[in-house]
């Protein structure tokens, strides 16, 4: 009797252990979003608010953040009280080193424009408008613990800088989202981006980031999301030639044709070019030279016409990671703190400036 009870008890323990092992999906790590991933817009509508209350709310916004104004080509607010709201202490400026990692900028792709070199060669450029960038928050390396680890070596040596772009009306945002900008002293921003930087390149929250963060002649990497074309065939997606329009071709004019796969390995190999979803993927164009900078409107003329992203889409600009195109001389470190005076337009030395005189006339001296 005793042996039968012990045998049944051991079977019960073994069965319980197997049930616990089968529930391994319950112990997986849960998604932990960063601290700035908060609900942005309120769900409450303004349908029940009278016109007098709407004007009263707008008056409070204008008293705190200033009147609406256009700053460097971007609709914003004057922010007359920005210096009074900043509560952070200034960080010590450290010298630049070749392996220091600076912050990037948030820009908007506004179109393409040709330029000509002094030897007559035509180059195609893309215009990137830096849309009112401000440093929002800096997280030191010992406190930065990302939920999704970026693909970079020695991440524990770098910090995280949160940058915001494009001011918006704070009355349509949630209280939690507006609290992200409390210590920076700037208006709530519509777009946020994270940049991995070195501790020596830390920037005080509330510092503006302009186009003079880069220089003409520097090489940058531009990251953007490609245009979403939806589900496309092989002709548009991969550039297949297709088959003839006649001479025995029936209903296979734009089909991929034979994809192989016979005999023992009768399967579709991974990476085969087939129809599928095209676009809507993050891509990075590396090693692009800056040919021209307009400091009045914060516009960069960047090499090439194949920068990922649609017109008026957001892109992120970094210092290039290509070893042969890195900075040879110290750049503005950690950023350019003052706007340049007297140089509204800066051209690269090899680019022909159409604003300059090319033909001069001097009257002949009469004897």
- 8 A C-beta contact, residue 319 and residue 326: yes
**Strand ranges inside 60-103, DSSP E:** 68-71, 74-77
The token pair that represents 342 in the structure block: 């007297």
Pairing mode, strands 74-77 and 133-139? unpaired
Residues 6 or more apart whose CB falls under 8 angstroms from that of 225 comprise: 280, 281, 282, 283, 308, 309, 313
Q: Where are the domains of the chain?
A: 101-146+156-228+277-347
Tens of pLDDT along the chain (367 residues)? 666 767 665 665 544 444 444 445 555 555 667 777 777 777 666 666 777 777 777 777 777 777 776 777 676 676 654 444 443 345 567 888 988 999 999 999 999 999 999 888 999 999 999 988 999 999 999 998 887 777 888 888 999 999 999 988 888 888 888 888 888 888 889 999 999 999 999 999 989 999 999 999 999 999 999 999 999 999 999 999 998 998 989 888 999 988 887 777 788 888 899 999 999 999 999 999 999 999 989 999 999 999 999 999 999 999 999 999 999 999 999 898 877 766 788 999 999 988 877 667 778 877 6
d(CA 269, CA 260): 9
Phi, psi at 111, each rounded to 5°: 150, -170
CATH code of the domain made up of 101-146+156-228+277-347? 2.40.30.10
pTM reported for the whole predicted model = 0.80
- 41 secondary structure, DSSP code: B
Residues 6 or more apart whose CB falls under 8 angstroms from that of 127 comprise: 109, 110, 111, 112, 113, 299, 300, 301, 302
Q: What is the DSSP string of 172-192?
A: GB-HHHHGGGTTTTSPPEEEE
């Amino acid at each position: 009797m005793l042996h039968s009870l012990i045998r049944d008890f051991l079977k019960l323990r073994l069965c319980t252990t197997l049930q616990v092992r089968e529930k391994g999906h319950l112990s997986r790590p849960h998604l932990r979003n960063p601290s700035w991933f908060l609900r942005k817009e309120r769900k409450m509508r303004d349908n029940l608010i009278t016109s007098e209350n709407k004007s009263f709310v707008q008056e409070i916004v204008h008293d705190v953040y200033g009147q609406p104004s256009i700053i460097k080509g971007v609709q914003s607010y004057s922010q007359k009280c920005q210096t009074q709201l900043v509560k952070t202490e200034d960080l010590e400026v450290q010298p630049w080193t070749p392996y220091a990692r600076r912050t990037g900028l948030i820009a908007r792709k506004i179109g393409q424009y040709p330029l000509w070199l002094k030897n007559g060669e035509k180059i195609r450029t893309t215009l990137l408008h830096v849309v009112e960038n401000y440093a929002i928050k800096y997280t030191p390396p010992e406190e930065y613990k990302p939920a999704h680890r970026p693909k970079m070596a020695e991440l524990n040596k770098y910090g995280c800088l949160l940058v915001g772009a494009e001011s918006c009306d704070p009355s349509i945002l949630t209280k939690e989202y507006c609290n992200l900008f409390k210590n920076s002293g700037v208006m709530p921003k519509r777009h946020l981006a994270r940049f991995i930087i070195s501790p020596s390149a830390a920037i005080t929250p509330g510092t503006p980031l302009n186009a003079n963060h880069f220089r003409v002649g520097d090489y940058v990497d531009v990251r953007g999301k490609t245009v979403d074309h939806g589900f496309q065939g092989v002709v548009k997606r991969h550039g297949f030639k297709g088959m003839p329009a006649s001479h025995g071709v029936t209903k296979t004019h734009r089909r991929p044709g034979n994809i192989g796969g016979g005999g023992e390995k009768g399967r579709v190999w991974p990476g085969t070019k087939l129809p599928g979803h095209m676009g809507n993927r993050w891509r990075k164009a590396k090693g692009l030279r800056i040919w021209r900078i307009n400091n009045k409107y914060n516009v960069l003329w960047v090499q090439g016409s194949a920068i990922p992203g649609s017109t008026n889409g957001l892109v992120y600009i970094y210092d290039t990671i290509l070893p042969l195109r890195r900075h040879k001389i110290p750049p503005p470190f950690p950023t350019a703190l003052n706007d340049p005076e007297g140089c509204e337009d800066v051209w690269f030395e090899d680019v022909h400036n159409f604003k300059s005189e090319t033909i001069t006339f001097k009257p002949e001296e009469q004897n």
